[in-house]
Amino acid sequence: MVFAHLSNVVVLALLAVSQLSSAQPHGERHGRRFATPDGASTTGDKGGIVYSPYNADGTCKDQSSFLSDAAQLQGFSRLRLYGIDCNQVTYGIAAAKQYGFKLFLGIHNIASSDDEIKQLITQVGSDWGLVDTVSVGNEVVNSGQMSASDVAARVNSARDLLRPAGYTGPVVTVDTFVAIMANPVLCEASDYAAANCHPFFDGKVAASASGDFLKTQSQNVQNACGGKKVLITETGWPSQGNSNGACVPSPDNQAAALSSIKSAMGSNVIYFTAFDDLWKTDTPATFNAEKHWGIQNLGF
Q: What is the pLDDT of residues 107-140, one digit of tens each?
A: 999 999 999 999 999 999 999 999 999 999 999 9
What's the pLDDT score for residue 35? Answer: 37
Active site residue 28: no
Higher pLDDT pick, 73 / 23: 73
What's the pLDDT score for residue 87? Answer: 98
pLDDT(151) > 50: yes
pLDDT(226) > 90: yes
What's the pTM value of the predicted model, to 2 decimals?
Answer: 0.87
- Residues 6 or more apart from 129 whose CB is under 8 A from it? none
Mean pLDDT of the 62-77 span: 97
What's the pLDDT score for residue 45? Answer: 78
What is the CATH class of 8-298? alpha beta
What's the pLDDT score for residue 165? Answer: 98
pLDDT bin (cut points 50, 70, 90) of residue 30 is very low
What's the pLDDT score for residue 44? Answer: 55
Share of the chain above pLDDT 90, in %: 83
CA–CA dist 156, 146 (Å, integer): 15
pLDDT(38) > 80: no
- Residues 6 or more apart from 285 whose CB is under 8 A from it? 16, 17, 20
Higher pLDDT pick, 24 / 251: 251
**Exactly one of 28, 116, 139, 234 is catalytic; which is it?**
234
Mean pLDDT of the 253-281 span: 97
Q: Report the SS3 class of residue 214.
A: helix
Domains of the chain, residue spans? 8-298
